[in-house]
Amino acid sequence: MGKVQHGFRQVHLDFHTGPHIPDVAASFDPKEFVRVVKAAHVDSVTVFAKCHHGHLYFNTEHPARHPALPKELDLLRAQVDALHAEGIRAPIYISVLWDEFAANLHPEWLVVNPDGTLQNVMVFVKSGVEGMTFQTPSEPVIIDQKDCRYIPHVFTMMVNQPLKIKNSDATLHNIHAWAEKNTPFNIGQPVQGMETTKSFNKEEVPLPIRCDVHKWMSSYVGVFSHPFHTVTREAGSFELKLPPGKYEIVAWHEKYGTQTATVEVADGEKKEINFTFKETTTAD
């Protein structure tokens, strides 16, 4: 009997563990782990740094470290060391497509109501108001930084309308307007209660706002030369009060991109427009 030959044997150690699973890896024994792997003539084992739940399996101060992973256990390091000691490869798996932890922490990124309607969609008149002039409101639009998020996540304002930026957190935020048509700005607000007022002097849609300290903080503002713009809130619906005329109406969502519709309204007439976004639509 000759020795059994085999090709390269790779095992994907699938390891997606939700937050309610107790004692994750509490009984992990590196010696037993590697003994089984060797007995199966495995050449390479994929080991998990980050799973679809967004949980981390190594030593880190990040709150996404799995809550039930024993404090003293660096599971990833223990697996890699045990495998390498036996000459077995240990490629590291990092889920980048799914992240339940981040989704729960930042629901504002995509808010779909139970009835399928979508929040945080910017809806505005794109054409039909050319040649008209409108007064700029003097009352400011407010953006707050609270619990390391921007409130609101999506909003609209007029050209030259004041934008009051507040910091309600007892931590440093760095509000960074990534303007392309307007002058970008980048302001640090290190103290709770700080307020800064800025404005934009050109139309720009959408204009992203981000925090340089907390990379997940994002907001989008639409800056318009007219007052016909709004954002879908809790009910996923919107209302625009338009003078009689024919208009091109645009709906924009950060993930699903842009939809356009044309509407013609007479004096006092009410019309309904529905925009439908599909999962496969990509943002501009």
Output the smallest distance, CB 25 to Cu ion, in A. Answer: 33
153 lies in the binding site for Cu ion (CB under 5 A): no
- Residues 217 to 276 in contact with Cu ion, rule: CB under 5 A: 217
Q: Hey, what long-range contacts does 84-88 have (CB within 8 A, 24 or more apart)?
A: 85/34, 86/34, 86/37, 86/38, 88/34, 88/37, 88/38, 88/42, 88/43, 88/44, 88/45
Q: Whose Cβ is closer to Cu ion: residue 34's or residue 217's?
A: 217
Place of tokens 């950060």: 254
- The sign of the torsion formed by the CA atoms of 177, 178, 181, 184 equals positive
Q: Whose Cβ is closer to Cu ion: residue 81's or residue 212's?
A: 212
173 lies in the binding site for Cu ion (CB under 5 A): yes
Tell me the residue type at 121.
V
Q: Whose Cβ is closer to Cu ion: residue 178's or residue 277's?
A: 178
Output the smallest distance, CB 214 to Cu ion, in A. Answer: 4
176 lies in the binding site for Cu ion (CB under 5 A): no
CB 260 within 8 A of CB 277: no
Q: Whose Cβ is closer to Cu ion: residue 108's or residue 232's?
A: 108
Tell me the residue type at 202.
K
- Residues 20 to 79 in contact with Cu ion, rule: CB under 5 A: none
Q: Which residues contact 98 (CB under 8 A, 6 or more apart)?
A: 52, 53, 54
CA atoms of 253 and 257, how far apart (whole Å): 5
Q: Which residue is nearest to Cu ion (CB)?
A: 211
213 lies in the binding site for Cu ion (CB under 5 A): yes
Across the beta sheet with 257-265, the strand order is 229-231, 122-127, 245-253, 257-265
CA atoms of 106 and 108, how far apart (whole Å): 5
Q: Residues 205, 207, 211, 250: which binds Cu ion (CB under 5 A)? A: 211
DSSP 36: H
Output the smallest distance, CB 213 to Cu ion, in A. Answer: 4
Q: Whose Cβ is closer to Cu ion: residue 217's or residue 221's?
A: 217
106 lies in the binding site for Cu ion (CB under 5 A): no
Of the listed pieces 65-73, 129-137, 170-178, 248-256, which binds Cu ion according to CB under 5 A? 170-178
Output the smallest distance, CB 171 to Cu ion, in A. Answer: 7
105 lies in the binding site for Cu ion (CB under 5 A): no
Q: Residues 77, 89, 106, 214: which binds Cu ion (CB under 5 A)? A: 214
Note the residues at the interface with Cu ion (CB under 5 A).
173, 211, 213-214, 217
